Amino acid sequence: MPTIALIGAGSMVFAKKLVGDVLSFPELADSEIRLMDVDDHRLSKTARVAEAMVENEGLDATVRATTDRREALDGADYVLNMINVGGEEPFENEIRIPEKYGVKQAIGDTVGPGGVFRALRTIPTMLDIARDMEDLCPDALFMNYTNPMSILCQVLFEATDVETVGLCHSVPHTAEAIADYLGVPEDELDYWVAGVNHVAWFLELERDGEDLYPALREAMEDEDVYRQDTVRFEMLKHFGAFVTESSHHVSEYVPYFRTDEATIEAMHGEGYAERMPTATYLEGWTARSDARDDPRIDVELDDVGVERSEEYASRVIHSMETDTPRRFNLNVPNETGAIANLPEDACVEVPCLVDGTGVRPCSVGELPTELAAFDRKHVAVYRLAVEAALENDRDKLHRAVKLDPLTSAACTLDEIHEMTEELLDANEAYLPSFA
């Protein structure tokens, strides 16, 4: 009977999905599920839904809810992290201030000025969680869903003794999209993917031993297919591989697509810029936040059941508990040289074998030179952001933002410096160590 703690469980929709995933496995259906959040109102909604799932399905699982993090972590076997630190105000600052300087972030939670500043306000809490785990559940596996994925995982790799993996659904979502473009069943795709989070690459793409890249290149010549994923198809056309994050999101990881509207229109046709707007995640998050504060539960508790989603967490737990071998793309330290031409201290997203012995990253050798170059740019930003946070180093923070590909394409160095100072001033309450 594993004990599974969900930290940040006030995010009801996602927490409900993860609880349902766990309970969908008969071998895990007697688990103790501990739900923790600092917001008692939102936490209580999640707890009521989770309890209804257990009752409706007649399971032996136990659901406990608490606002005390140490109580949730005490003796846990697995810890799933989905916290959000700071709320709406800093998030809006991280999007709107760069926007004034021409840095038009699509999402802004993993990369760019938004990703760096989100990391700075999240890292202290992540370290607090890790310290509690070192004290209360030192053998637990910490599975992180919170963004910015690479920076936060790298901090935990370096500054704590907690075994940490980062989980992201971009690889299976990309496989689903590719299967749709090719008109083949997703479960018939074989692929080998590696890189860094959101900039990982389909190095191999096959079906029954046949290379599917020629078919994918042919498919993108169809205008209707191309328009569904313009940025990723442009990256495939020019750099030879399909990347693992959606066109909208990955457009802010590279310098080519979000800085000159005239060029964008000429390349992609009228209306393309409007289909890649700034701040879509902020606006959606704000709307969802309002819904979370509604005292009503927007699902019928009598109808709540157990379903299994595409998320990895429950499968990782099941593999470790039952010694069932599976392979997932996880975010792990590159200390074993999984990607030979990226730094050993980087956080990389690579295939990992998981079974009763734990998580074992696979070696993928070297990435093609051009693909590794994209990833190294972000690894450098993440390294500086980690050092800035751990050392309270303002200069390293400035340099991290100045190295960001989109920011450096949109602004001069002096403009980036001014923008970073404005972000520091606006978010002073959330970044006391930099005050």
Q: Where are the alpha helices (DSSP H) in 58-142?
A: 69-73, 88-100, 112-136
Phi, psi of 67 (to 5 degrees): -95, 0
The angle subtended at Cα 378 by Cα 169 and Cα 93, nearest 5°, is: 80
What whole-number distance in Å separates Cα of residue 28 and Cα of residue 266?
A: 54
What whole-number distance in Å separates Cα of residue 417 and Cα of residue 403?
A: 11
Element (H, E) at 397: helix 394-403
Element (H, E) at 359: strand 358-361
- Sequence-ordered list of residues with C-beta below 8 angstroms from that of 215, at least 6 positions apart, any chain: 182
Residue 169 bears catalytic tag: yes
Q: Is the peptide bond before 148 cis (omega within 30 degrees of 0)?
A: yes
Q: 38-58 burial, b if ≥16 CB within 10 A, otherwise e? A: ebeebbbbbbbbbbbbbeeee
Which residue's entry shows tokens 């993993």? 110
Query: Do residues 389 and 123 touch, judged by C-beta distance below 8 A?
Result: yes
Q: Write down the catalytic residue from 41, 169, 173, 268.
A: 169
Active-site residue list: 169
